Amino acid sequence: ADGELVQYHYGLKDLVTILFYIFIAIILHAVVQEYALDKINRRLHLSKVKHSKFNESGQLVAFHLTSMVWCLYVVVTEGYLSNPRSLWENYPHVYLPFQVKFFYLCQLAYWLHALPELYFQKVRKEEIPRQLRCIALYLVHIAGAYLLNLTRLGLILLLLQYLAEFFFHMARLVYFTDENNEKLFNVWAVVFVVTRLFTLTLYILVIGFGLPRVENQVLDPERGNFFSFLFNNILFRMSVLLLVCLFQASVMWRFIHFQLRRWREYWNEQSSRKRAAAGAKQPAKLLKRDSGYHENGVVKAENGTSPRTKKLKSP
């Protein structure tokens, strides 16, 4: 009927949909690579290492920008930002609007397509473990939010994560085009810290105060209620919050370590440039010479006479 609201649940048919969009993601990946990134690479003449990192950041900038705009549109139209209580009210959120379900399936398809892209892009062996770790973390978190019916919380967390990642990879692209331009890295540093604080606050709000107040506190996997009853136990709730805080602290520690190393390299480079400039400006030392000039190894005075005193002959 007109105006009827249709909602969706997850099931085995999602695997077929994800497989289809994996092929779509591979095609879009090739289009961005051939018609955008390869043309820019020819002009920049980057080394092999920078060439690989430039391609990685270029692909992720396109993906993060698209996902960020799409995710923001979903959370605004569904009212998750205007009503934060909706993140935990009526949990479990078993039935999803079409745009929420479609967003999650496309996210899973993209990160699964990144696995064969490691072979297609001929990624260096040294970079493969890092990229595999990144892909696995995204898949675990996105699939966990989707299967455990925490899709609303997952949307907000993905929006914050993609915002920070977008500025980081955008800063890398600008740095590869102009190595003296590092202003976007400073912007990324501010955005990263702000998003970490919002992420931690959101975890505390939902886990510490939201889920323990859910009406249905009974374990019921058939209805999608997996663990809300556990949050009634204050010991379990505090343990989860402690793990979340420790994880965010480790992320911040790595970030601070990276920033300190970057600033140390910057100041060392500036001091070396100053020493080089000071050495170039220092005038050469003039050698002290005797008065007059040399002619055939003999010092002559300016008037042509010898600077040595002549011995007077006795009469």
Q: How do the pLDDT tens digits run along the chain, 315 residues long?
A: 566 788 899 889 999 999 999 999 999 999 999 998 988 888 888 888 888 889 999 999 999 999 999 999 999 999 998 888 888 888 778 889 999 999 999 999 999 999 999 888 888 888 899 999 999 999 999 999 998 888 999 999 999 999 999 999 999 999 888 877 778 888 999 999 999 999 999 988 888 788 777 766 666 666 666 666 566 667 777 888 888 889 888 888 988 988 888 788 878 877 887 778 777 766 555 555 555 544 554 555 555 555 555 555 544
Q: What is the pLDDT of residue 274?
A: 79
Please report the pLDDT score of residue 216 as a whole number: 64
Confidence at residue 16, expressed as pLDDT on a 0 to 100 scale: 96
List % helix, strand, coil for the chain (3-state, nearest 5).
70, 5, 25
In the three-class reduction of DSSP (H, G, I as helix; E, B as strand; rest coil), residue 2 is classed as coil
What is the predicted pLDDT for the residue at 315? 45
Alpha-carbon torsion, ordered 20, 21, 25, 31, to 10 deg? 70
pLDDT (0 to 100) of residue 192: 94
**Residue 300 DSSP SS3:** strand
pLDDT, position 308: 54
CA distance 154 to 104: 9
Is the pTM for the entire model greater than 0.75?
yes
Q: What is the pLDDT of residue 244?
A: 85
Residue 209, pLDDT score: 81
CA 207 vs CA 185, 199, 227, 230: distances in Å: 32, 12, 11, 11
Query: For residues 291 and 301, is the Cβ–Cβ distance under 8 A?
Result: yes
CA distance 55 to 313: 93
Q: How far apart are alpha carbons 65 and 165 in whole angstroms?
A: 9
pLDDT of residue 90: 80
